[in-house]
Amino acid sequence: MNPLPIDPKNLPLVSGDEFQGNLSQILLLVILLGTAAYLLLQHGLVKSKMMAASGAALFAVAGLMAFTSIPMELESVVRMCFSILAVAGGIAFITAREPVHAALGFATAVLSACGVLFMQSAYFIAAATMIVYAGATIIIFLFVLMFAQKAKLQQYDVQLTSPVIAAAVATSLLFAIAWSVSEPGEILPVKLDLTRPYSLAAPGSAPGEAMPPVPDPAMSTEQLAEFTPGKTSGLGRSMFTDYLLAIELAGTVLLVATIGAIVLAQKPERDPS
């Protein structure tokens, strides 16, 4: 697949500094969060105020711990604020009794995650996520809620199925994820990927034919910023060259889903008899 006369095992390194993990801190954070989630859930939503308060306190401790672990620069502080807000919105989403409050928690979580995406310079994805999730999904959700929700809270709004097992499963999953990303050397150094020449952030003047530029520590900050995949035009270039077929398929899937939604949401026909 590699059009250039380079051994694929010997591609140039893009960034190769050694990775120092802080495993124990993150694992402690995960356990704190899992306990907080269970205490806020309980059997059925918020049966004891004491347990809920202790869960909120645990969450605050976890947030503080996460906050002290980052360097005190503006960018990382803002990113951490967005992250904590996203997790808080998510926890509010799973613990709210009223479905509308849960939807507000979901919107908070998704909008804060979009803030993080903006800071990762994925502007198009962040805007599209806001429109699709926080716009379309929440609106449709509220319509369905108006259609189907009873005035009083129902049994199934408050009662939960096996919160202990769910919290344990999710915590152990998160434990595994955190372990696998924070052990030293688990995130590999990045090599230049030449199999999709138009998808590189800095593809050079002749993508796929000449060697693209490689970041160098001696470069200035502006030159290094060229290697951030942040341009929407770059996303479009990649989308309509390397991934053209996939994008067409995605459009087809959208069309089929639209027709399916129209068919499913119709009123059933009345029998003439």
Partner 1 sequence: MNHSEVQNLLVLGGILFAIGLIGFLTRRSLILMFLSLETMLSGVSLNLIVFSRYHQNYQGQILAVMVLTIAACEAAIALAMVVSLYRRKATLDVQAWDELSETILPKDPQGDYPGMDKEESYPKLIPAGLDPLAKPVPSSMQATIEQASSLHESKLNESKTSSAVSEVNQRA
d(CA 273, CA 263): 24
Name which of residues 66 to 95 contact partner 1 (CB under 8 A).
Answer: 66, 70, 76, 79-80, 83, 86-87, 90-91, 93-94
Is 113 one of the binding residues for partner 1 (CB under 8 A)? yes
Token duo for residue 43: 């059997």
> What single letter denotes the amino acid at residue 135?
G
- Least Å distance between CB 57 and partner 1? 18
Nearer to partner 1, 54 or 227 (CB): 227
Q: Which is nearer to partner 1, 57 or 225 (CB)?
A: 225
Q: Which is nearer to partner 1, 57 or 70 (CB)?
A: 70
Structure tokens at 216: 């160098």
**Min dist. Cβ of residue 263 to partner 1 (A):** 5
The binder of partner 1 chosen from 148, 151, 218, 245 (CB under 8 A): 148
Q: Per-residue x/- marks for partner 1, 176-215, CB under 8 A?
A: -xx--xx----x--x--x--x--xxxx------------x
Point out which span in 1-9, 51-59, 257-265 binds partner 1 (CB under 8 A): 257-265
Residue with tokens 């026909």: 269
Rounded Cα–Cα distance for residues 65 and 76 (Å) = 14
Regarding 59 and contact with partner 1 (CB under 8 A), the answer is no
Torsion of CA 13, 24, 31, 64, to 10 degrees: -90
Q: Is 264 in the site for partner 1 (CB under 8 A)?
A: yes
Q: Which is nearer to partner 1, 74 or 262 (CB)?
A: 262
Tokens of 84: 């904590």
Residue 91: which of 27, 32, 19 has the closest Cα?
Answer: 32
* Piece in contact with partner 1 (CB under 8 A), picked from 3-11, 47-55, 142-150: 142-150
- Which residues face 190 on adjacent strands? 15
- Counting residues that bind partner 1 (by CB under 8 A) gives 113
Backbone angles phi, psi at 121, to 5 degrees: 60, 35
* Member of 52, 81, 104, 171 binding partner 1 (CB under 8 A): 171
Distance (Å) of CA 3 to CA 197, 210, 240: 9, 9, 20
Q: Which of residues 214-233 bind partner 1 (CB under 8 A)?
A: 215, 227-229
Distance CA(20)–CA(215), nearest Å, equals 22
Question: From the CB of 26, what's the least distance to partner 1, in Å?
Answer: 6
* Structure-block tokens of residue 147: 């259609």
In the complex, least distance from residue 250 CB atom to partner 1, rounded to whole angstroms: 4
Can you give the length of the chain in residues?
273
